[in-house]
Amino acid sequence: MTTLLEIREKIKVFYGRNDAFILPIIRFLLAFWVFATVNGRMGYMAKVDNVAIVLIAALTCSFLPNGCMLLIAAVFSLLHMYAMSMEVALVGLCVYLILFLIFFRFDSKESLVVMLTALLCVMKLPYIMPIVMGLIGTPISAIAIGCGVIIYHLLQTVVTAAPTIATMEEADATGKIRVIIDGLLNNKEMLVMVTAFAITVIAVYLLRRLAIDYAWSIAMVSGAMINMIILLVGDLLYDINISVLSAILGSVVAILVAKIIEFFRFCVDYSRTERVQFEDDEYYYYVKAVPKMMVSVPTKTVKKINTQRRPAMPAQRSVSSGAVTMRKTVEEKNKTDYEELF
């Protein structure tokens, strides 16, 4: 355990010294991943589906706020929708405007949560986000997670409806709009996932704030179980065909990721818990103090030993002895002159 704590401290020190370079690199990689995923799943506009365009956009996002990354990703998807049909792009724009108004009204600082939720939905691992955000976020984080789920299902609906829309006539604008709207509103899986994730975020948040031992571990395990139960109940009620094996594996991965975050954010030693009681003029205080696991990183001290000896300086010695002899001679001469004078 000591070795892991030392590694953690070294990582923190390294990040603290180089965060000005690390953060732009992380933003660049995340932006490239997001834009490449959008192009890979849609790809209806050839001019946008270009590696050079993706690289330029990702480099631009590496120096901009996270909200700009989300905005550029929305523009990419709207361009692909426009290449398919102008009516589809209009529906997508309306959905984005509604989500952005809700998101920026309540939770505008968690743009990364929206993108990561959509990306994890593509990877079939969306169960990570509600548990993680319940640990490090607030109940309002459920809004960002819900927006990410809706965006994923919107793009999935567009991709699924693409063959049907391609067979429709250009004048049938109402039919194209109806296909997208019906596919989105009748998506029971999306509604169940949004509900399950919102309840999971709130449950994990409330449990990890309890003044009990191992609150974070209890919160993450309980959150995974609550999430699975709600998803399975939704599957039974609406027949949304959720894979039980995928839900179990995703919950296990979510707990592992949450344990890693706990190690960096909330690593405490419950064996050294202290309870303190004191009072003032108005209240009695009962305080439970749990110390953090800390270890000092060993520092290496390099001592430089110079084996070369300084050479003797006979010249200075001779000069010094000569000066002393001359001073004595002058003093004796002055004394002799003084005696002869008297």
Summarised one tens digit per residue, pLDDT across range 109-165 is 788 899 999 999 999 889 999 999 999 989 999 999 999 999 999 999 999 988 888
pLDDT band at 212 (very low <50, low <70, confident <90, very high): confident
> For residue 334, is pLDDT > 70?
no
H helix and E strand count, the chain: 12, 2
What pLDDT was estimated at residue 32? 94
- 70 touches 115 (CB < 8 A): yes
- pTM for the whole thing? 0.81
263-290: b or e for each residue (b if 16 or more CB lie within 10 Å)? Answer: eeebebeeeeeeeeeeeeeeeeeeeeee
Given this model, what pLDDT does residue 298 score? 59
In one letter, which amino acid is 34? V
pLDDT of residue 291: 83
Q: What is the pLDDT of residues 164-178, one digit of tens each?
A: 888 887 777 888 889
User: Per 3-state DSSP, what percentage of the chain is helix, strand, and coil (rounded to 5)?
Assistant: 75, 5, 25
Q: Kindly report, residue by residue over 223-271, the tens digit of the pLDDT.
A: 999 999 999 999 888 888 888 888 889 899 999 999 999 888 878 877 7
C-beta separation of 35 from 57 below 8 A: yes
**pLDDT value at 318 more than 50:** no
pLDDT for the residue numbered 320: 47
- Asked if 205 and 136 touch (Cβ cutoff 8 Å), the reply is no
Strand partners, 292: 268
Which of the residue ranges 14-18, 210-214, 320-324, 328-332 would you say has the lowest mean pLDDT?
320-324
Q: Determine the pLDDT at residue 319.
A: 43
102: pLDDT strictly greater than 60? yes
Confidence of residue 290 (pLDDT cuts 50, 70, 90): confident
- In eight-state DSSP terms, residue 268 is B
Cα 15 to chain centroid, rounded: 13
Residue 110 or 216, more confident: 216
In this predicted structure, the answer to whether residue 338 has a pLDDT above a threshold of 50 is no
Long-range contacts of 71-79 (CB under 8 A, 24+ apart): 72/31, 72/35, 73/34, 73/35, 73/38, 73/115, 76/35, 76/38, 76/39, 76/48, 77/38, 77/42, 77/155, 79/45, 79/48
Q: What angle do CA 22, 145, 74 make, to 5 degrees?
A: 70
**Are 223 and 204 a contacting pair, CB within 8 Å?**
yes
pLDDT for residue 103? 79
Tokens of 115: 């993108």
Question: What is the average pLDDT value for the chain, to the nearest integer?
Answer: 84
